[in-house]
Amino acid sequence: MQSPSLPSARERILDAFVDVLVSGSARSATLDAVAAAAGVSKGGLLYHFPSKDALSAGLAERLDAFMAEDIAAIHASPSGAID
């Protein structure tokens, strides 16, 4: 039996960033707070996202990808947006 794949460190960091933003504010979403919430070192976070701006851009890219998937699913569905 194959175990489900674990999210990559990059994905865990983005998930943690969302969690910190939702539970606090943009000001509370420091790199230290996000690293702690993701369970990675600050150096590990900085490897993937060298700044808070890069972290924000990574989240925007993720949201763009989700939106593109939704649009593709709508176009592929016989019922369109209804499904």
3-state secondary structure labels for all residues of 4-49: CCCCCHHHHHHHHHHHHHHHCCCCCCCHHHHHHHHCCCHHHHHHHC
pLDDT for 28: 87
In this structure, CATH architecture of domain 9-82:
Orthogonal Bundle (1.10)
Question: Per residue in 28-51, pLDDT tens?
Answer: 899 999 999 999 999 999 999 999
pLDDT for 2: 47
- Dist CA 27 CA 50 (whole Å): 18
pTM: 0.80
Going from the C-alpha of 63 to that of each of 26, 68, 70, the distances in angstroms are: 17, 9, 11
pLDDT for 44: 95
Domain ranges of the chain: 9-82
Average pLDDT over the chain reads 89
Structure confidence at residue 83 as a pLDDT band (50, 70, 90): low
Mean pLDDT for the stretch of residues 58-69: 94
- Dist CA 73 CA 68 (whole Å): 9
